[in-house]
Chains A and B, each alone.
Chain A
Amino acid sequence: MKFGYLLITSNKGEIDYNKLAYALALSIKNTQKQGFDQVCLITDNLDSTKNFKSPWVFDQIIENKEYQGWDARSHMDQLTPFDYTVCLDVDMLFLNDCSHWVEYFIKNNNLFIANNAITYRNEIISEDYYRKTFTANGLPNLYSFYTFFKKESAEVIEFFNLQRSIFSNPIEFSNLFLTNHKPKVLGTDEAFSLASKILGHDNFNLDFPKIVHMKGQVQNWPWPADEWTDHVGFYFNKQGLKIGNFQQRDLVHYVNKNIITDEIISILEETAWKK
């Protein structure tokens, strides 16, 4: 059995996604137990990985020129080198050992997509500001930022084939299934949720993983907030991470890509070197 985390980047714009993936990989090495800390990076830009001080945090780096942007993530089942995979968004950080989640999924699931997102104050997010399509069309509230799957299981093949079909034919599927509220862009979350609904998956209702989801409008603040960093601080040091006055645990999806500074990378590297 080979388990690993899969990080997929596409580096076309101004954001250096490989740098974010590097920070995430460092945090995985720093926090996850042995056997649950393998990381594979799939990237369309190998050059920017050459400047990392500790490229060994990626157990494998695979160049991918075939699939671009979001499209690459819809091929995660074909791109992974692992038997069991958790594919993560790269703008995330592990803060504690969450290997027990993976152990549970390996034992009980062929496919699991996160359905619990919480605020930095540890409250379940029920606000649907970004998810009108989900509410209006009765889609399961899935977050593709944490997707577990067993490679080549029948359930997984069926799911990803349908999901790719949705992704390739967004107008047709929107017209057929998302008539109550059509998304401007049919993204990975919508495609995963619609595929899950069509296939009748009903085994995603677990209390874990709970993942902090730092989108501004869903933090239960009394004002509109495009950038959450305008309102609360991000305090990262060797002891951990606080957002505002709240100690963060487990896994944080920080969303704001500018947060990962060289200083934060240095702290993560130093921890990894001393481990």
Chain B
Amino acid sequence: MKTGIVIFAHNSRKVDYSLMSLISGGLAKKHLKISVSLITDQSTVEWINKSQSMQKFNNVFENIILTDRPSAENYRNLNDGELVDNVPFVNGNRSSVWHLTPYDKTLLIDSDYFIFSERLKPYIESDHDIMISSAMNDLGENRAGTLDKYVSDTGPNLYWATNVIFKKNKNSKIFFDLVDFIKDNYYYYAELFRFYPKPYRNDIAFSIAKHILDGFSLDLEGSLPPISTTIDRDILVEVSDKGRLKFLMNQGSDYVAMSIENTDIHVMNKQSIIRHKESLLELI
């Protein structure tokens, strides 16, 4: 059985997802010691070539798989500390991973998820058909709200598609087909589960699919551990050569210093990743 990691990256005019996937893929490969493949589109590959970094991509990724670029209708506000920009999120094709993955068992991670430990290894080796992170663990203090925990105020648990592990089989296909169906009928499910339908969120589509396939109930068995997360209002300020990440964490009107090491982390402030690309790439 071939096991590997898959990362999606579709560049937008404002965010270089390919660069983030290079960092994310390199760190994941280094710490989990398994192959990594990139799923991307032609225009993103053209950008990689233009920036003369294809060699680095070839060093990190076992495969660079081309797929159609999903539509960029999905806009949302993205903070960089206190600055806000309305940016396109080109990520509506995550459910196609079942068809596109070259592996029998796949760990799907977001391009802004950085692996610094072997924590996910026993989960990759376990026998479940599909596993998703059951929660996010905000590294700031008292910031997580109801909608970080639930799909809606009265709705099901919100799982985080930042980490998904699945075996390529009939059961996982049913899951991803259902995610696709939910995506295609997103407004209907928004009415049914009472969430705001804009923008489309993979986390919500994955959560509803899991909720339905679990028999419309909460079943945390086989869940991946919570995602340690810094939000986009937090600022990555330093990356040491030992891999210690220092952040300024937004606490209302104040910022508080925090550092972290040897811990897998979801860094939502994408621009602050880009600002530290050299030191992050040194770590891979």
A positions within 8 Å CB-CB of B: 121-123, 219, 221-223, 231-232, 242, 244-247, 249
Contact = CB atoms under 8 A, between A and B. Distances in A.
B146 interface: yes
Contacts of A242: 216
Contacts of A232: 154
Contacts of A219: 154
Chain B interface residue bracket vs A: 10 to 19
7 contacts: A221-B146, A222-B145, A242-B216, A244-B155, A245-B192, A245-B211, A249-B217
Contacts of A221: 146, 153-154
Contacts of A222: 145-146, 153
Interface of B: 145-146, 153-157, 192-193, 211, 215-218
B217 A122 contact: yes
Contacts of B153: 221-223
Nearest to A247: B216
Given A121-B156, A231-B154, A232-B154, A246 B146 contact: no
The B interface is mostly helix, strand or loop, or mixed, namely loop
A275 B16 CA distance: 63
B188 to A, nearest CB: 13
The A interface is mostly helix, strand or loop, or mixed, namely loop
Q: Residue among B145, B146, B211, B216 with the most chain A CB within 10 A?
A: B216
A222 B145 CA distance: 9
Nearest to A242: B216
B154 A247 contact: no
Given A222-B146, A245-B156, A122 B218 contact: yes
B154 A244 contact: yes
A223 B218 CA distance: 22
Contacts of A122: 217-218
Given A245-B156, A245-B192, A245-B211, A123 B218 contact: yes
A213 to B, nearest CB: 16
A217 to B, nearest CB: 14
A245 B216 contact: yes
Given A121-B156, A122-B218, 19 more contacts: A121-B157, A121-B218, A221-B146, A222-B145, A222-B146, A222-B153, A242-B216, A244-B154, A244-B155, A245-B155, A245-B193, A245-B211, A245-B216, A246-B156, A246-B216, A246-B217, A246-B218, A247-B215, A247-B216
A43 B206 CA distance: 50
